[in-house]
Amino acid sequence: MNQSYNSQLLDNAVAELGKLPGIGHKTALRLALHLLRQDEGEAVALGESIINMRRQIRYCRTCHNISDKETCDICADSSRDRSVICVVENIKDLISIEATGEHRGLYHVLGGVISPLEGVSPSDLEIASLVDRVANGGILEVILALSPTMEGDTTNFYISRKLAPFNVEISMLARGVSIGNNLEYTDELTLGRSIINRVPYR
């Protein structure tokens, strides 16, 4: 919808805001009018933070996490276990795992998963650089933390084959019933898997 609001400036802002995922035309208009009511500094700070982020952001040379420097804070943190690499699809997943506080090793961000349907092949992902990291030695375990989907499983399989020649333990996320979820809402496949992979009661 290209409704005009008597101002090209407002129209532009609404159009650009409306391109964001989950933000429709009405919400975009509400946000733009909100910004008009704020101090100029507020709106400029928002605009500049977006521009600066996109223009200046760097990716860690080692793990491809976002970073303002050549090496991200996680890779630079000497207190972390440098012998364990957790492989994730994207930065959002890295943030999620980091938020659990359960992984004290390093990461490796693939930048996606293998998906023939979407034209993503292994060469589009940071798999070769992962193999290089393992080949360089010092890595005892690689945790495959990809989504339990067809594409995730394919990528897990591909990576596990690539890492087979090296003396490194390969693990993956446990699959089973979600904590706090009623069993009746758990799908059959997950429930079946959680029976097969049952663990001793502690």
Alpha carbons 73 and 53: distance in angstroms, whole number: 17
Alpha carbons 11 and 6: distance in angstroms, whole number: 8
CB 94 within 8 A of CB 65: yes
- 120 contributes a contact to a second copy by CB under 8 A: no
Closest CB to a second copy among 23 and 191?
Answer: 23
User: CB atoms < 10 A from the CB of 160, how many?
Assistant: 13
Closest CB to a second copy among 91 and 170?
Answer: 91
- 32 contributes a contact to a second copy by CB under 8 A: yes
Q: In degrees, to the nearest 5, what angle opens at C-alpha 116 toward C-alphas 19 and 164?
A: 120
Q: How far is the CB of 135 from a second copy (least distance, A)?
A: 26
Closest CB to a second copy among 3 and 123?
Answer: 3
- 49 contributes a contact to a second copy by CB under 8 A: yes
Which helix H or strand E contains 172, and what residues bound it? strand 169-172
**Is the torsion defined by CA of 22, 25, 26, 28 positive or negative?**
positive
Closest CB to a second copy among 41 and 180?
Answer: 41
User: CB atoms < 10 A from the CB of 67, how many?
Assistant: 19
- 160 contributes a contact to a second copy by CB under 8 A: no
Q: Kindly identify the residues of this chain, within the stretch 61-100, that bind a second copy according to CB under 8 A.
A: 65-68, 72-74, 90-92, 95, 99
Alpha carbons 188 and 195: distance in angstroms, whole number: 11
Closest CB to a second copy among 14 and 139?
Answer: 14
Chosen residue from 36, 128, 135, 150 binding a second copy by CB under 8 A: 36
Closest CB to a second copy among 120 and 172?
Answer: 120
- 156 contributes a contact to a second copy by CB under 8 A: no
End-to-end, the C-alpha distance of the chain in Å comes to 59
Chosen residue from 24, 45, 61, 149 binding a second copy by CB under 8 A: 45
Alpha carbons 143 and 133: distance in angstroms, whole number: 14
Task: Return residues touching a second copy (CB under 8 A).
Answer: 3, 5-10, 12-13, 15-17, 19-23, 27, 29-36, 38, 40, 42-57, 65-68, 72-74, 90-92, 95, 99
